[in-house]
Amino acid sequence: MMHTVLQTDLRFGVVFAGSGGSAAEVGCVGEVVKHERLADDRFFLICKGQQRFRVARVVRTKPYLVAAVQWLEDRPPAETPAPGEDAEALAADVEALMRDVIRIANRLNGKPEKEVGDLRRGLFPTPFSFYVGNTFEGAPREQQALLELEDTAARLRRERDTLRNTLNYLTAASAVKDAFPSSPSSG
């Protein structure tokens, strides 16, 4: 598959497959940004996620899966959002929570305190919401749930809730660490 991808447009579909082997219906296009062929004919890849899709039908299974897909775009909200619940306000909340999570996580890991810069980097709420979801490494089911949401505000609300829970956990861990500092080991 990688030989075909590298000889054509450098793009391929990525879908989550759980431990049971069943593949998710929603995935995204990955574009190879950089690659290195290893001695054993495997590849080291750096890819950038692009447009989302829903698998309409599997066209071929051998030598690798090929599917017909329906492209997905976020839908506009059905109703006018409540004050503070529009996508722009939610993105600002999520960015502030991310800053706090980063600050406390760095503190817990003994890293020096430093100012966390502009996490949005000028991104509008929709691409920012996908950027945030990408940072939830180690939580592939949560990332998949976020990928499947077709409403930017709903995605940002879920990210806000996840970041609040993470912040609460890290704050508690920090309080425990402060209350019970570890003593240097004697050798």
Instruction: Return the domain boundaries, the chain.
Output: 1-71, 87-179
pLDDT in tens, 87-135: 999 999 999 999 999 999 998 988 887 788 889 989 999 999 999 999 9
Q: 1-71 maps to which CATH number?
A: 2.30.130.40
Across 27-35, average pLDDT:
92
- Per-residue pLDDT of 135-157, as tens digits, reads 998 899 999 999 999 999 999 99
Q: What's the CA gap between 131 and 147, in Å, rounded? A: 11
Mean pLDDT (the chain) is 90
Entry pTM:
0.84
Residue 168, pLDDT above cutoff 90: yes
The Cα 59–Cα 45 span in angstroms is 26
SS3 82: coil
What pLDDT sits at residue 90? 97
CA 40-137-50 angle, to 5 degrees, is: 75
> In the 8-state DSSP scheme, what is residue 186?
P
Mean pLDDT value across residues 8-13: 86
Query: Other CB atoms closer than 10 Å to residue 97's CB: what's the count?
Result: 19
pLDDT band at 187 (very low <50, low <70, confident <90, very high): very low
Predicted pLDDT at 183 = 57
Q: What is the 3-state secondary structure (H, E, C) of 87-135?
A: HHHHHHHHHHHHHHHHHHHHHHCCCCCCCCCCCCCCCCHHHHHHHHHHC
pLDDT score recorded for residue 184? 60
